[in-house]
Structure 1
Amino acid sequence: MTDQNLILVAQVAGGFGVKGEVRVTAWTADPMALLAYGPLLRADGSVGLTLTSGRPEKTAIVGRAKEITTKEQADALRGLKLFVPRDRLPPPEDEDEFYLTDLIGLSARDADDRVIGTVKSVPNFGAGDMLEIAPAEGGPTWYLPFTRDAVPEVRLTDGWLRAVRPPEVDERDEA
């Protein structure tokens, strides 16, 4: 299983109480959806946590996991990132909706329909999602904010998106 097939959905926040429950911060619209995904995986694809029950708590779920019986075991897993295979997620409800991971590998095209690169990753450094673009002609990657102004068009089925390059990237290319 490659890491492109895995979607980051949660992170262990640590133990909850003294009876072996664990708090898991969810990055899903509904934290309780974590119970439906089956075993939550580590980045390498091995089983990280199997939630057997839970209750919502703000943006987290507090519950029991097959692998945890004590608070100390739960605390030892603090910080563990949890993933699910892409095919376990429900399909987007609208044709204009997609998972950010689906953008990886798309061609980035400019206003003249010229391929200027390929989406390498979709990181979020805290100020919003960014597209890391690997230039078609080689060279260092560059970042593009994933906003309607910078990415006015996404054509998943056609394998491309429209990218409005920031001026500093154009200036660097012309130098």
Structure 2
Amino acid sequence: MSGNLIVIGRIQRAIGLHGECAIEVFGSTFENLEIPAEILIGVRESETRSIVVNKIEYRPKCIVCSFSGIDDRESVDQIRGQFLFVEKAKLPSLDDDQYYHFELEGMKVYSDTNAFIGVVDNVYNFPTVDSLEIRRSNGDLIMVPLTNDSVLKIDSELRKITVNPDFLEELL
């Protein structure tokens, strides 16, 4: 099943006594789940099983979930540290100007004069803004916020991102 699953989160710890748990969320896919949602859970992509998300609660310091069959602290402890996955085919479609993080990873990054900058290594979902981690050809990493000011164009067919050169001057 390699490559068909997207990691959307990880079980952090039990919250309370009735099987609720804090979730570390990766990207914005988690917030698009329609509850109840059948997803997959496991320590790695090749070892998953189905689980149903019954509730998602956004609290000030964490996201709290409850799952079918997980109804006490001990049950949460058994799945603690495991990853939450969804199948790519089951992801809701996005608007033309929206992208899932995994779609951006591996894209080549250029300036508006077509000078090669690097390749998107990772996309981070920071509290204030998503950011592209770009690996330069010399191995250095730079972070570019995923904003209209810094990213001029994303061409998914060419797998190419064009970045504002004025913004790059500050980073390079």
With the length of structure 2 as denominator, give the TM-score of the two structures: 0.73
SS of alignment partner, residue 152 of structure 1: strand
CA change 1:45–1:138 in 2 (3 A) is same
Structure 2 counterpart of 1:152, which letter? Answer: L
Residue 89 of structure 2: aligned partner:
87
Offset of 1:72 from its aligned partner?
0.9
The number of residue pairs the alignment matches comes to 161
Offset of 1:129 from its aligned partner?
1.8
Structure 2 counterpart of 1:103, which letter? Answer: L
CA change 1:108–1:56 in 2 (3 A) is closer
Residue 160 of structure 2: aligned partner:
160
1:62 and 1:139 mapped to 2: Cα distance? 41
Deviations 1:100-138 (A, max 9, x none): 210011111101123322111112455532211122x43
1:157 and 1:9 mapped to 2: Cα distance? 24
Corresponding position: 1:55 with 2:47: no
Unaligned runs of 5+ in 1: 171-175
1:50 and 1:168 mapped to 2: Cα distance? 46
2:129 and 2:5 mapped to 1: Cα distance? 21
1:75 and 1:69 mapped to 2: Cα distance? 11
Q: Is the 8 A contact 1:24 1:61 kept in 2?
A: yes
Unaligned runs of 5+ in 2: none
Residue 21 of structure 2: aligned partner:
23
What is the root-mean-square deviation in Å for CA atoms of aligned residues? 3.0
Q: Is the 8 A contact 1:48 1:82 kept in 2?
A: no
Residue 108 of structure 2: aligned partner:
107
Q: Which moved more, 1:4-13 or 1:96-105?
A: 4-13
Q: Is the 8 A contact 2:120 2:132 kept in 1?
A: yes
Q: Is the 8 A contact 1:120 1:132 kept in 2?
A: yes
SS of alignment partner, residue 166 of structure 1: helix
SS of alignment partner, residue 68 of structure 2: strand
CA change 1:60–1:48 in 2 (3 A) is farther
Which structure has more strand as a fraction of its residues? 2
Deviations 1:36-76 (A, max 9, x none): 3432344443226612x6234335432323xx464312134
Corresponding position: 1:9 with 2:8: yes
Q: Is the 8 A contact 1:54 1:61 kept in 2?
A: yes
CA change 1:116–1:57 in 2 (3 A) is closer
